[in-house]
Amino acid sequence: MERIKLGMVGGGNDAFIGGVHRIASRIDGQFELVAGALSSMPEKAQASGAALGLAPDRTYDDFKAMAIREARLKDGIDAVAIVTPNHMHFPAAREFLKRGIHVICDKPLTSTMADAKKMAQVVEKSEALFILTHNYTGYPLVRQARAMIERGDLGDIRVVQVEYPQDWLTVDEESQDNKQAEWRTDPARSGLGGATGDIGTHAYNLACFVSGLKAERLSADLQSFVDGRRVDDNAHVMLRFEGGARGMLWCSQVAPGNENALRLRVYGAKGGLEWSQESPNEMWFTEFGKPKTLLTRAGTGAMGLQDGLTRTPGGHPEGYLEAFANLYSEAAAQIRAFPDMQANLLPGIDAGMSGMHFVDACVRSSARDAAWVTLG
């Protein structure tokens, strides 16, 4: 089967997430990277393209020029991965979507609610797919947790707790020539939400994805603990879901001893689930009044969900890159079937808008001393 021709905007030399997307797109052999506008700096764009083996005439200095030419080429790209800082997601995605090129965009959706609304309008009018890489939804045991809740194994959901602490911004990294810290703490490029937009949106998306619940109201207390930091680096958020369930979300980038400690707990009238991203091949399930049961990826009790989601036998760990690859493989299936839509769990514009409403509500609530506010 012919590989899907992929382009990339952003993700040049020294860009972490661009490399992740490229690896994920290759794992199952579904995509081939053939073009890119890998940096806004021409010299870096050309050097990055050369390092990746791209042809010079498919290495662009400008994403608009790339979109125009690739749409006209007989063998132009079928899809593009957008891995820029947040403020460039919308202008880049718009150029490809309006020319019928499928978009795979890193999260969050955009940096501002105004751009998010414009993005939704462009997606609605486009004859192409828009996919958002909330990659934690690609873990096999996350999919199993969702399926178990849908099946009623936990009963009516009562409590959802999610946390995502890191420690890499405990000090003023943005002033120490750290490229990732520099743009992620700049509200003009990251948006008004710092930790809330960067990792809080992942935690919020995971909580809603697994539980199947939609949040109605929240109360948020945001902090910027590092002197001079212009965005939040810590957040405590109380959530009220439709149907009466309650939630708690903590995200922090100033929690020493935590690297990427995303953790989810869901409790219902009949039982509970616990999953940690740093031990993603294990999940605890407890029926009320019975001993805790350890479920493993591709192990006994996997519900058949490992088909298409795992690549190695049980006991051989899989993790972050494989979960990311699951999203790319599901994206490939949708692209190949387009315009017929295959039913799958890929995040799209709705998940992106939900994340933007979450950040917006957190900022509004914290500005009012953690007042309860309604999500848009």
pLDDT at 305: 64
CA distances from 323 to 65, 174, 176, 200 (A): 32, 29, 32, 19
DSSP 42-97: HHHHHHHHHHTT--GGGB-S-HHHHHHHHHHSTT--SEEEEES-GGGHHHHHHHHH
Distance CA 350, CA 113 (A): 13
Asked if residue 146 has pLDDT above 70, the reply is yes
CA 325 → CA 148, 200, 321, 359, distances in Å? 23, 22, 6, 27
* Sheet architecture: strand order including 215-223: 293-296, 282-287, 271-276, 263-268, 157-165, 246-252, 234-241, 215-223, 373-374
Q: What is the pLDDT of residue 264?
A: 98
- Phi and psi based region of residue 63 (left: phi greater than 0; alpha: psi -120 to 50; beta: remaining): alpha
pLDDT band for 41, please (50, 70, 90 cuts). Answer: very high
Strand partners, 275: 264, 283
The Cα-based distances of 316 to 93, 281, 299, 313, 364 in angstroms read 37, 9, 11, 6, 45
pLDDT tens digit sequence for 236-271: 999 999 999 999 999 999 999 999 999 999 999 999
Query: What are the tens digits of pLDDT across the range 320-357?
Result: 999 999 999 999 999 999 988 766 889 999 999 999 99
Stretch 279-292: mean pLDDT: 98
- The pLDDT value recorded for residue 302 is 79
pLDDT at residue 348, rounded to an integer: 96
Q: 91 pLDDT exceeds 90?
A: yes
Query: Nearest CA to 91 among 73, 109, 77?
Result: 109
Beta strands in the chain (DSSP E): 4-10, 31-37, 79-83, 102-106, 130-133, 157-165, 215-223, 234-241, 246-252, 263-268, 271-276, 282-287, 293-296, 373-374
Give the confidence band of 93 by pLDDT, cuts at 50, 70, 90.
Answer: very high
Which residue type sits at 187?
A: P
Walk me through the domains of the chain, giving residue ranges and CATH numbers: 4-128 (3.40.50.720), 139-312+352-367 (3.30.360.10)
Instruction: Tell whether the model's pLDDT for residue 304 goes beyond 90.
Output: no
Q: Check whether 303 has a pLDDT greater than 80.
A: no
HSE (CB half, 13 Å, CA atoms) of 52?
28
Place of tokens 């989810």: 264
| pLDDT digit string, tens, across residues 181-196 | 999 999 999 999 999 9
Burial class from Cβ neighbours inside 10 Å (0-12, 13-18, 19+) for residue 344 reads: middle
What per-residue confidence (pLDDT) applies to 342? Answer: 67
Cα 195 to Cα 254: distance, rounded to the nearest angstrom: 9
Mean pLDDT of the 9-13 span = 95
Average pLDDT of the residues of the chain: 96
**DSSP classification of residue 233:** S
pTM attached to this predicted model:
0.96
Provide the pLDDT for residue 376: 82
Percent of the chain with pLDDT over 70: 99
Q: In this model, does residue 306 exceed pLDDT 70?
A: no
Q: Any idea which residue has 């052999």 for tokens? A: 29
| Angle, alpha carbons 347-352-357 (nearest 5°) | 140
Q: Kindly give, in sequence order, each residue whose CB lies less than 8 Å from that of residue 216, ignoring residues fewer than 6 positions away.
A: 240, 241, 242, 374, 375
pLDDT of residue 10: 97
Query: Among residues of the chain, what percentage have pLDDT more than 90?
Result: 93
* pLDDT of 315 over the 70 cut: yes
Q: Is the pLDDT of residue 94 over 90?
A: yes
